């Protein structure tokens, strides 16, 4: 939670207003697919580190889901997508609608899992509303 103080009163008690910050932990969808340029999302994930800042990019022209939100590294390499049920195409409570209306979200890697002998990598990201 962020706290912002207002003007102080003569008795030393200040006006306090609080802005609640919401944080979501989400498993990235589509990590087993290759990107349109042929790059392997699995290889990209294997090079990532927990805590790394990621970008959320709306894809309103996505042929499969008009509510799609792409998850990429800062260099543009795509890791996958925010799951459709979380992006909630057409739902005003979903991330896609909020991004479209100008709300800013932060995203970073919370956990990378799998990747051992014959296992695919997976990734959980932390998505928080507000600027860095």
Tens-place pLDDT, residues 43-78? 999 999 999 999 999 999 999 888 999 999 999 999
Average pLDDT, integer, range 19-40: 92
Model confidence pLDDT, tens digit, residues 108-124:
999 999 988 889 999 99
Instruction: For residue 16, list its beta bridge partners.
Output: 5
Instruction: Count Cβ atoms below 10 Å from residue 43 Cβ, excluding itself.
Output: 11
> Given this structure, which CATH class describes domain 22-129?
alpha beta
Hey, which residues does 81 pair with through a beta bridge? 29, 70
**Global confidence as pTM:** 0.80
């Amino acid at each position: 939670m962020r706290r912002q103080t207002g003007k102080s009163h003569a008795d030393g008690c200040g006006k306090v207003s609080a802005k609640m910050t919401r944080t979501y932990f989400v498993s990235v969808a589509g990590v087993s697919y290759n990107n349109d340029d042929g790059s392997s999302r699995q290889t990209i994930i294997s090079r990532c580190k927990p805590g790394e800042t990621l970008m959320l990019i709306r894809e309103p022209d996505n042929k499969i889901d008009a509510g799609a939100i792409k998850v990429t590294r800062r260099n543009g390499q795509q890791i996958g997508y925010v799951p459709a049920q979380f992006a909630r195409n057409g739902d005003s409570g979903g991330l896609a609608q909020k991004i479209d209306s100008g709300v800013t979200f932060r995203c970073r890697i919370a956990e990378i899992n799998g990747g051992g002998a014959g296992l695919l990598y997976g990734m959980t990201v932390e998505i928080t509303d507000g600027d860095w």
